[in-house]
Structure 1
Amino acid sequence: MTDRSEIYDQVTAQITPFNKKGIDLSEATTFAGDLEWDSLTVMDFVAAIEDEFDIIISMNMQAEIETVGQLVDAVAKLRG
């Protein structure tokens, strides 16, 4: 089982190519507000996360994830 800090590091590494504004990332960083991602960017990013962790993030789950920390928690939960 991967620990949460490793998942956080992997998630932030996946965010880097999408972080066009060079925002400093934290658990509280929001995808829509801080990173200003549009829906297409979100879809591309979700696909990258799903590939990285070999998981499927449902549309319902995606709708509830607003911050980096919430995404890390969701990945940890899906990896079980």
Structure 2
Amino acid sequence: MSDRNLLLDDIKTEIEPFNAKGVAVTEGTSFQKDLEWDSLTVMDFVAAIEDRFDIIITMNMQAEIETVGQLVDAVAKLKS
């Protein structure tokens, strides 16, 4: 399994507690449209991701990340 797939699996695990609708999460899953997260949920989730991967996701980056796949790419870039 590639590093990207492992990272995707880790992120899916982090999404689970926030996935109140039980949406099947894929790389194309939208945080706003599919998961229907409000701003507080987004803030809590971002904090969980930052803690899990020991990174900082800036507000500008957050504004550009709409899907799970985009988040995987952003975390991979920040970890490198």
User: Normalising by the residue count of structure 1, what TM-score does the alignment of the two structures yield?
Assistant: 0.97
Correspondence 1:35 to 2:55: no
The number of residue pairs the alignment matches comes to 79
Task: Determine what percentage of the aligned residue pairs are the same residue.
Answer: 70
Corresponding residue for residue 61 of structure 2: 61
> How many angstroms apart in 2 are the aligned matches of 1:76 and 1:47?
16
Corresponding residue for residue 6 of structure 2: 6
How far off is 1:66 after superposition? 0.2
How far off is 1:59 after superposition? 0.3
More relative contact order in 1 or in 2 (CA 8 Å, sep 6+)?
A: 1
> How many angstroms apart in 1 are the aligned matches of 2:7 and 2:60?
21
How far off is 1:15 after superposition? 0.2
User: Normalising by the residue count of structure 2, what TM-score does the alignment of the two structures yield?
Assistant: 0.97
Q: What is the alpha-carbon root mean square deviation over aligned residues?
A: 0.9
Instruction: Point out where structure 1 has 5 or more consecutive residues left out of the alignment.
Output: none
